Amino acid sequence: MEQSLKHRVVLLCGRICSGKGSYMKDAERIVVSDIVRGIIKSSSREELQNTMHLDLSITAGIIEQIGGLFKKEVSEIVVDGIRQVSIVELVLAHFPDAELVWLEVPVEERKRRYENRKDTKDVELFEIADNKPIELECQNIFSTFRDKLTIINNY
């Protein structure tokens, strides 16, 4: 399945509280944590973020949802919250024209956002959440796809 000129697919990455949920608000959203939640039937943020062994299932869900949105002729699609390089690679193999966007926000601002959002799933201190191994994988996405990556200061 190829992306045509009438479809814009954005694979959105960034560290915790970088604004992934609010970026391109008018676009149709595919939220990766919702796909994972459907696969593992859990709402625990910890379980949802430790999904490296589910790459193929997550990728299949993303590809299926993008394909469904193409059929509905949705023009802008944001895939919100990909956290593994392997998933980005697999999705780009199916949709080579997809854009990869990294949202960059200073740590002090991300910490302020974390503390202000009062999400009941955020039971950890920001420093613990910010240093999760899964967040380091986002840095791997950044360095692996530097030539196909748009960096946006979302501050």
Q: Identify the pLDDT of residue 6.
A: 78
CB-based contact 1:95 (threshold 8 Å)? yes
Question: What single-letter amino acid sits at 65?
Answer: Q
Write out pLDDT tens, residues 107-128.
889 888 888 877 666 667 777 7
d(CA 115, CA 122): 9
What stretches of 10-96 show up as alpha helix (H) in DSSP? Answer: 32-40, 45-49, 55-71, 85-94
Using one digit for the tens of pLDDT, what is the confidence trace for 31-78? Answer: 988 888 888 775 555 555 555 567 888 999 999 999 999 999 899 999
As given in the structure block, the two tokens for residue 110 are 């991300």
What does 79-115 look like in DSSP terms, one character per residue?
EE----HHHHHHHHHH-TT-EEEEEE--HHHHHHHHH
Query: Is pLDDT of 1 > 50?
Result: no
pLDDT value for 70? 93
User: What does the alpha-carbon distance between residue 137 and residue 126 come to, in Å, rounded to a whole number?
Assistant: 17
Q: For residue 29, what are the β-bridge partners? A: 78
Question: Domains of the chain, with CATH numbers?
Answer: 8-153 (3.40.50.300)
